[in-house]
Amino acid sequence: CKQILWTMTLAGLNLFPSHRLLPHPNITDQELFWGADQYDFSVVLPAAATECFWHFAHHRERFYLNFMVQWVTGVGLDRHLSVTVNAPSSLLLSTVDDAKGQINFEVEETGFHQMCLSNFHNHFSMMQVFLSFGVYYDNNQDKGKKDMEEEKLNNTLSIIQIATNRVERNVFHMFRYYSFGRMRKSTDYFLLQSNTRYITWWSMALSLLIVTSGFLQLLFLKSLFVSKAENEKPRC
């Protein structure tokens, strides 16, 4: 995204010319954001909160979004998360309401696509969500490019370029599956930690309850054999 420029004018003098502050004045937005990319990170959503992110995608690219709830703390502990993806024209493209999900579609509009995560199911609980999203090119669906590739098979450079593109695409998908595996591993790790804390605290509470009940029973039995007066017989 191009840098937001503020032009200040004082007494008819332009103190900050905008054309000098542009990082790439001769490059359009489509050229600046062209290429396959992916992002992996975690975000913490407060109770009943909504977080939105934007990602640039071109026409005929493949846009994907993978998410998984890692942990939930608070009251209620509902792991469901509402995820929506909107086009640059605010058209709703896809929606998922689950603890984990995958969204994948072919881009029809060039521009910034909006991804919103809503934790409206939990009014008193916060959650951490792992996200993996990006864009890539699926040349297998482009029949016109296949014909052009067959015509250029005799060209050694074309063969090398086609093979390189295939390798890059396969490596990209490999990292996609690897990031999804990281999601599951981190979710299992946080679940293991949560169960460990749950078992530890309940074990301590039950142990304290057993010791306290045994001590009270001992005091009650001891009181049955105590006589306050000399002539008074014990109750047991």
Q: What is the pLDDT of residues 8-57, one digit of tens each?
A: 333 333 333 333 344 455 666 555 556 557 888 889 999 889 999 999 98
For the domain 30-190, what is the CATH code? 2.60.120.380
Residue 91 confidence class, pLDDT cut points 50, 70, 90? very high
Res 187: pLDDT? 76
Q: Of 103-112, 176-185, 187-196, 222-231, which one has max mean pLDDT?
A: 103-112
Res 164: pLDDT? 77
Residue 229 confidence class, pLDDT cut points 50, 70, 90? low
Which amino acid, residue 173?
H
Q: Which residue has the higher pLDDT, 101 or 235?
A: 101
Domain range list for the chain: 30-190
Q: Which residue has the higher pLDDT, 33 or 73?
A: 73
Q: Of 36-40, 66-70, 165-169, which one has max mean pLDDT?
A: 66-70
pTM to 2 decimal places: 0.61
Which amino acid, residue 185?
K
Least confident of 72-81, 164-173, 225-234: 225-234
